[in-house]
Every structure is written in structure tokens, then in C-alpha cells.
Amino acid sequence: QKEVEQNSGPLSVPEGAIASLNCTYSDRVSQSFFWYRQYSGKSPELIMSIYSNGDKEDGRFTAQLNKASQYVSLLIRDSQPSDSATYLCAVNRVGGSNYKLTFGKGTLLTVNP
């Protein structure tokens, strides 16, 4: 089982719709979870972090975490064409005695005008 798994997509939604991005992880002791957005040819940009079970909202973005199910998701409300990008789920794991961030393969989101 891969450490961090995401559907690679592409996920296509119409403008104004809700985009739902999902991620599962294998290591039960993982403690922190991040969503990064990466436009083509650019570097990853942090958009959300979540550390405890439940929902966390920031503007049009909501991150959801369920540690029992080892599942984290990102909802984007009122999707805009500018949201079209690859969304990377990242999980902070302990490697030896040190924390390191491991990324999923990313989900390509396309928002159609």
C-alpha cells in the first residue's frame, strides 16, 4: 500500500460547482496533513493544513480529516477556472526520529467556464 494515495484524475467540474478531492494515508501515527496547489510549471503553494479530526474552513476551501478512516479531503466551493491546478495531499510522517513530508501523486482539477 502506498503511503499517500490520491485519485490522479483528471477531475472536471463546471464553474460554480463544488470540487471534492480525496486522499488516504497508510501510517496511523501521522499527525498533520496539508493540501498544496500546484499550477503547471510552478512550485507547490500551501492552501490548507489540518491536524485534528473534523472540518476546517478557510474561505472557499474546507479540509476534512478522519483519522480513524485514515482519510483527508478538500472541498472547493464555488469553483473558479483559476482553481484549475494539481492538488497535492501531503502527510507528515516520522522517519526515524525526524518528521518528513510525503506527497501523494496529486489530483488534476479542471474547472470549466
Partner 1 sequence: DTEVTQTPKHLVMGMTNKKSLKCEQHMGHRAMYWYKQKAKKPPELMFVYSYEKLSINESVPSRFSPECPNSSLLNLHLHALQPEDSALYLCASSQAQDYNSPLHFGNGTRLTVT
Which is closer to partner 1, CB of 8 or CB of 15? 8
Cβ at position 49, least distance to partner 1 in Å: 5
Cell numbers representing residue 61 in the block: 476551501
Residue 68 backbone class (left: φ over 0; alpha: ψ -120 to 50; beta: rest): alpha
Which is closer to partner 1, CB of 44 or CB of 111? 44
Which is closer to partner 1, CB of 18 or CB of 39? 39
Q: Which of 94, 96, 93, 57 is nearest to 73 (CA)?
A: 57
Cell numbers representing residue 98 in the block: 525526524
Q: What residue type is 79 in one-letter code?
A: S
Using CB under 8 A as the criterion, which residues of the chain lie in contact with partner 1 when the complex forms? 31-32, 34, 42-46, 49, 51, 88, 90, 92, 95-96, 98-106
Instruction: Tell how strand 32-38 and strand 85-95 pair up.
Output: antiparallel
Cβ at position 86, least distance to partner 1 in Å: 9
Cβ at position 21, least distance to partner 1 in Å: 14
Which is closer to partner 1, CB of 8 or CB of 16? 8
